[in-house]
Amino acid sequence: MLTVYGYSPSGNSHKLRMLLGHLGREFRWVEMDIIGGGTRTPEYLAKNPNGKAPMIELDDGRTLAESDAILYWLAEGTPYFAGDAWERAQTMSWMFFEQYSHEPFVAVARFICGWTPLDSPRRADLPKLRERGRQALAVMETHLSTHPWFSGRGYGIADIALFGYTHVAEDGGFRLADYPHVCEWIARVKAQPGYVAMPAYAPENDTLIAQSRT
Amino acid sequence: MLTVYGYSPSGNSHKLRMLLGHLGREFRWVEMDIIGGGTRTPEYLAKNPNGKAPMIELDDGRTLAESDAILYWLAEGTPYFAGDAWERAQTMSWMFFEQYSHEPFVAVARFICGWTPLDSPRRADLPKLRERGRQALAVMETHLSTHPWFSGRGYGIADIALFGYTHVAEDGGFRLADYPHVCEWIARVKAQPGYVAMPAYAPENDTLIAQSRT
């Protein structure tokens, strides 16, 4: 059986839970303490020298890292990575956009709000992260004004990749109401068959997020 | 004919020139003034709302952005994206590693050294960027200690993606001699049929890089 090493509140990890839910595929989930160094142990680094989650492991011990590469592998041959070569390349383009122009700002702002102390020096980065994150959300809004999905003609892995952190962007101080097409797209994603919601955060993360808003 | 919108000293743009050289494919190159806002004009943003280079354009006006997605599209059906589904997923994994864990540090350090004034406040970021960049180079070194390539059994698009900024990392203040397997891999890449070297920088960039070293 497929094993997923992930951290449940991580959008990158949640992408895999979502796609596996859509595919109705069984898997074993190993919850990683990414905050406490769980991905930096010698055992984990032997499997993924970059020391990040998520990662998947097959029964024969082979491993694959990078959330969007795992989506690509899981979706190959399914409707979640469909279309001709050009459409599939556009899907890949949005996944690279997500990792380069979206996640480092939208996800990191949320991480700082919910997973660092209120007096963390990292909070000084929030204005810049939010400015860059708003740019990414604006690019999504522009695309969604003329397209229903990011994965070619139907819902697929680029939508899952972008949904991972976009649907929880308000936890990082973003106002999703400013992006009405994004809000409608989030609703369409949540209506997909087999959709799995992100598990609840730990109470301390909820508290930090609430305190970051005031 | 394929049109590439790129900036010649950019590793991301150079990846495309490299693969097109290997493939022996003709193309038209439009040099973009990325420093002077050439990718932020209304005309360019209409083609790529994220305002980045490189981008390719087909004769019918369709466009594709994100260097590694373009590599994926160009290499489909060629030996540069070969192997079974698992090997291709590993290739994709290294390309996402490149864009998330390598480029934002190795490329940005080089950009600051060669493309910003000596009194730029961005130079304060260099120690942190170099620390993270060295981590990425160390991950590459670990992989190359047991594998000749990043693209499965042969040279391919993950090697091209990682080569783009790794082979010029010294311009960002990295010591490649600290990574002997990386140095040997760079030599193997340069020996590939159809290899195209990055064009020379403008004199002012060479001067800034030299001054950043002292």
What is the per-residue pLDDT across B45-65, written as a single tens digit (0 to 9) for each? 999 999 999 999 999 999 999
Annotated domain spans of chain B: 2-79, 82-198+205-211
What pLDDT score does B147 carry?
A: 97
Q: Decide if domain B2-79 falls under CATH 3.40.30.10.
A: yes
Task: Indicate the length of chain B as a whole number.
Answer: 214
What the block records as the tokens of B155 is 């040279």
Residue A68 has its nearest CB partner, among B62, B96, B142, at B96
Q: What is the pLDDT of residues B130-164, one digit of tens each?
A: 999 999 999 999 999 999 999 999 999 999 999 99
pLDDT band, very low/low/confident/very high, at A60 (cuts 50, 70, 90): very high
Rg of chain B in Å (alpha carbons): 17
A61 interfacial to chain B (CB closer than 8 Å): no
Longest CA span, chain B? 50
Compute, in degrees rounded to 10, the torsion defined by CA atoms A96, A101, A105, A111: 0
8 Å CB contact of A89 and B73: yes
Residue whose entry in the numeric block shows the structure tokens 């041959």: A77
Are B165 and B106 in contact by the 8 Å Cβ rule? The answer is yes
* Min Cα separation A17/chain B (Å): 18
Contact A94, A150 (CB under 8 A): yes
Look up residue A59 and give its DSSP letter.
T
Fold of B82-198+205-211: Glutathione S-transferase Yfyf (Class Pi); Chain A, domain 2 (1.20.1050)
CA distance to partner chain B, nearest, from residue A50 (Å): 6
Q: Which of B64, B96, B138 sits opposite A66 (nearest CB)?
A: B96
Measured CA to CA, the distance from residue B98 to residue B107 in angstroms comes to 10
Closest Cβ–Cβ partner in B66, B73, B97 for A50: B97
Residue B8 burial (10 A CB sphere; 0-12, 13-18, 19+): middle
- Residues 6 or more apart whose Cβ sits within 8 Å of residue B159: B149, B150, B151, B185, B189
Residue A5, pLDDT score: 98
Is B100 within 8 Å of chain A by CB?
yes
- Is 0.95 surpassed by the pTM of this model? yes
Provide the 3-class DSSP secondary structure of residue B62: coil
Find out whether the peptide bond into B193 is cis, omega within 30 degrees of 0: no
For residue A200, the tally of other CB atoms under 10 A from its CB is: 10
Q: Is B66 close to A93, i.e. CB distance below 8 A? A: yes
H helix or E strand, kind and range, residue A64: strand A63-65
Q: Which residue has the tokens 């160094």?
A: A37
Mean pLDDT of A60-75: 98
Least Cα separation, residue B155 to chain A (angstroms): 19
* Residue B176: CB atoms within 10 Å: 15
Residue B64, chain A, CB below 8 Å: the answer is yes
pLDDT of residue A92: 98
ipTM of the complex: 0.97
Cβ-Cβ contacts under 8 Å, B62 against chain A: 86
* A74: pLDDT strictly greater than 80: yes
Q: Is the pLDDT score of A22 beyond 90?
A: yes
Tens-place pLDDT, residues A91-149? 999 999 999 999 999 999 999 999 999 999 999 999 999 999 999 999 999 999 999 99
Q: Which residues of chain B have pLDDT under 50?
A: none
What pairs with residue A6 in β-bridges?
A31
At A56, phi and psi to the nearest 5?
Answer: -115, 155
Q: Is the pLDDT reported for residue A214 higher than 90? A: no
Best of A45, A56, A92, A179 to substitute, by most chain B Cβ atoms within 10 angstroms, is: A92
B114: number of Cβ within 10 Å: 22
Q: Which residues of A touch B92 (CB under 8 A)?
A: 66, 68-69, 72-73
Q: Identify any residues that bridge with A30 across adjacent strands, giving them in sequence order.
A: A5
Closest Cα in chain B, distance from residue A33 (Å): 20
Nearest residue of B to residue A70, measured between CA atoms: B89
Strand partners, B154: none
The SS3 of residue B210 is helix
In Å, how far is B194's CA from the nearest CA of chain A? 24
Question: Is B93 an interface residue toward A (CB < 8 Å)?
Answer: yes
**Candidate from A49, A89, A90 with C-beta closest to B139:** A49
| Percent of chain A whose predicted confidence (pLDDT) is above 90 | 98
Mean pLDDT of chain A: 97
Q: Which amino acid is at B109?
A: A
DSSP β-bridge partners for residue B4? B29, B56
**CATH architecture of the domain with residue range A83-198+205-211:** Up-down Bundle (1.20)
